Structures are given as C-alpha cells and as structure tokens.
Amino acid sequence: MTEAILFDLDDTLVVEEPAAAAAFLATAHVAARRYPVDPAELARTARTRARDLWRAGPAHAYGEDTIGMSSWEALWCRWEGDTAEVRACREWAAGYRAQAWRAALAEHHIVDPALAELLGERFGIERRLRHEAFADARPALDALRRTHALALVTNGASCLQREKLAGCGLTETDFDAVVISGDLGTAKPDAAIFAHALDRLGVTAADAVMVGDSFERDIRGAHAAGIRGIWLNRDGAQPAPEPNGHLEIAALTELAPLIRGSTSG
Ligand SMILES: [Mg+2]
C-alpha cells in the first residue's frame, strides 16, 4: 500500500526552466534598450556562455556533478552556507554572473563591462520576480497530506531550493521531510538520496512512490532505489521512454485519484 509520496520540486511543483528562460529574456531587454541587439538572440547567447563557463569553472564538480544544479541556477544562487564547497562556489559565482553576460555581449560586438555587471545582478532580480507554483501543486499536496506522508526530494543548493519553495507560496511544513541534495552531498538519480528520504519518513521503498518530471533523475533514480515512479509528463510533451514499472500522468490533478485507486484494492 502506498503510504508515502516523494515529490520532485523543479518543473514538478514549481515552474523552473521556463522562469529562467523568461528571466534571461527580460535581462537581455535591458541591454537592447541601450544597444541595437536582438534580445532573444542575446538571451540565447547568455544562456550558452553561462553554461560553458559553468562547465569549465571550478564550481561545476560540486555544483552539477555532486548536487545536480544547472548553470542558470548558479547565476542567481546566493550560495549560503559555511562548508568549503559552498564557500568556494560563492566566491567564484560573484564573478561568474557578470562574466557570462560580458562574454554574451562581446559575441554581439558590445564591450561594456559596467553593463555586464548590471545584467549579472539584474538576472537574479528578474528570476526572483518569477517564482510560481503550478496551479495543480497546492491542491495535490492538500489532497494527499491528510492521508499520506509527503517528502520533497530535490536537487540543488539548499538555500536556493528553499527560496524557490517559499517564493512560490509552498512551505517546508507542507512536507514531513525536505530532502535537498545540497544538504546531503548526493543527488538524484543516486539511490542514496531516495533511501535517505524513506528513512526520514520511516517507510520502506515498497510503500512509497516518487513523482517527478525528469525520467532520468526522478523515475530511473527511484526505480533503482526500489521505489515506483509516477512520471509527470505535463501535456504529454516528452516522448515515452522505455517501460520500467512506472505510471504516467499529465497533471498533478491525476495524482490523488491514481494513488487512491491503486491502493484501494
Ligand atoms: Mg524536476
């Protein structure tokens, strides 16, 4: 019987990638008001240059390989914390924010270091204006909260994931356990982070399900930990991967009836 539900955060409960894309574009518009540059082009370039710098930089090994962060999240993360890894990321990211925009502007033949600094800070402001939970997130949590133990299992820096949660009007008390890769030093799809969540809830893998939008991290990862996956494929946008015992839903409104239906008999 399903006793516990583990939820992914980014692009499952809260809008993440589209919010980042919109923040890149809004930030590029600031430059386009000063220079003849297409904001959509500049936004695309900034995103690419940010990714290149992130991959080549010293924060990547910890930020992406260990805790599963993306290059664009690193652009607005405050990197709060006192571990050596987080401190190193914080120091590096201070320059990374402007450097990404400086490189992007240069590709469009604009040399303006002051503007790059401004855009580097502006991106964080624009992203923070775009905290948004999916409309079906709160009703799904409320419907299941009464009958099931709930955990959040998310990849990313601890401060950033908590900031997203609070910014979107969800709270840590909506969950019986909040499990963040940045707090653990291990990320999805590693089975260890799922095992940690089960431990915190006091349930076995057979009694839990994992709900998430990433087939690789959430569904394959959960499967490796012995947990059935419920793949959130919003609007059927992604092609069907190989079967691995998972269920598929197109919206979180399907979740409570699915869980009740699959455990009632
Ligand atoms: Mg996700």
Query: pLDDT tens digits, the chain, 265 residues: what are they?
Result: 799 999 999 999 999 999 999 999 999 999 999 999 999 999 999 999 999 999 999 999 999 999 999 999 999 999 999 999 999 999 999 999 999 999 999 999 999 999 999 999 999 999 999 999 999 999 999 999 999 999 999 999 999 999 999 999 999 999 999 999 999 999 999 999 999 999 999 999 999 999 999 999 999 999 999 999 999 999 788 887 887 889 999 999 999 999 988 754 4
Domain count, the chain: 2
Distance 101 CA to ligand 1 centre (A): 26
User: What CATH number did the domain enclosing 255 receive?
Assistant: 3.40.50.1000
CA of 216 to the centre of ligand 1 (A): 10
Helix (H) or strand (E) holding 169: none
Q: Write out the residue range of the structural domain in which residue 260 sits.
A: 4-15+132-264
DSSP reduced 3-state for 114: helix
Clarify whether residues 153 and 222 are in a common domain. yes
CB 215 within 8 Å of CB 248: no
Q: Could you tell me if 63 and 95 lie in one domain?
A: yes
How close is the Cα of 211 to the center of ligand 1, in Å? 9
pTM of the model: 0.95
What is the Å distance from ligand 1's center to 63 Cα? 16
Ligand 1 centroid distance, CA of 8 (Å): 6
For residue 2, give every residue at least 6 positions away whose Cβ sits within 8 Å of its Cβ, in sequence order, or none: 148, 207, 208, 209, 259, 262, 263
Q: What residues flank ion ligand 1 with Cβ within 5 A?
A: 8, 10-12, 213-214
pLDDT at 14: 98
Burial of 259 (0-12, 13-18, 19+ CB in 10 A): buried
30, 53, 120 from 103: Cα distances, Å: 16, 9, 11
Ligand 1 centre from 84 Cα, in Å? 27
148 and 255 in a single domain? The answer is: yes
Q: Residue 15 C-alpha to ligand 1 middle, in angstroms?
A: 9
Give bridge partners of residue 178 from the DSSP assignment.
152
User: 167 and 137: one domain?
Assistant: yes
Question: CB of 4 within 8 A of CB of 148?
Answer: yes
208 CA distance to ligand 1 middle (Å): 18
Q: Report how far residue 19's alpha carbon sits from residue 111's, in angstroms, rounded to the nearest whole number.
A: 27
Q: How many CA atoms lie within 13 A of 201 on its CB side?
A: 30
Other beta carbons within 10 angstroms of residue 46's beta carbon come to 29
Which stretch of DSSP H or E encloses residue 208?
Answer: strand 208-212
